[in-house]
């Protein structure tokens, strides 16, 4: 029982450290949040594995994107995914659907 309690305490300590990095505005979650805020993506959840779930639509059109940052990985999009009028190389509807679960239409 003591070993289990120590393990749980260690996990909680690590989680508090991870959360404190986010509140300081540093770390991967803060970097993801900053990019999403700059792009105007709202109503999202950053999962423990750093993938993103968005409850509604994602509008990334006309953003002069040449590529997505490596730290941005969409998991589920509850609505549509708009990403046209950018400079993305080999970015197709099929690519979007292969990389994340989009419930609505995809426009690239």
Among residues 105, 94, 59, 55, which one has the least CA distance to residue 75?
A: 55
pLDDT of residue 107: 94
In contact, 83 and 92? CB cutoff 8 Å: no
- At residue 25, the pLDDT reads 67
- The residues of the chain scoring below 70 in pLDDT are 1-25
The model carries a pTM of 0.75
Element at 71 (helix H, strand E) = none
Sign of CA dihedral 71, 77, 79, 81: positive
Question: Rounded to whole angstroms, how far apart are CA atoms 44 and 47?
Answer: 9
- The pLDDT value given to residue 22: 57
The dihedral sign for the CA sequence 12, 15, 20, 21: positive
What local confidence, expressed as pLDDT, does residue 33 receive?
Answer: 97
Task: Please tell me the predicted confidence (pLDDT) of residue 72.
Answer: 96
Query: Which pLDDT value is given to residue 78?
Result: 97
């Amino acid at each position: 029982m003591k070993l289990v309690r120590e393990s749980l305490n260690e996990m909680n300590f690590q989680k508090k450290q991870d959360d404190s990095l986010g509140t300081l505005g540093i770390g991967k979650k803060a970097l993801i949040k900053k990019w999403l805020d700059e792009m105007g993506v709202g109503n999202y959840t950053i999962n423990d594995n750093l993938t993103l779930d968005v409850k509604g639509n994602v509008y990334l059109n006309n953003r002069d994107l040449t590529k997505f940052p490596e730290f941005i990985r969409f998991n589920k999009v509850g609505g549509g995914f708009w990403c046209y009028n950018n400079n993305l190389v080999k970015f197709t509807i099929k690519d979007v659907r292969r990389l994340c679960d989009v419930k609505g239409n995809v426009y690239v």
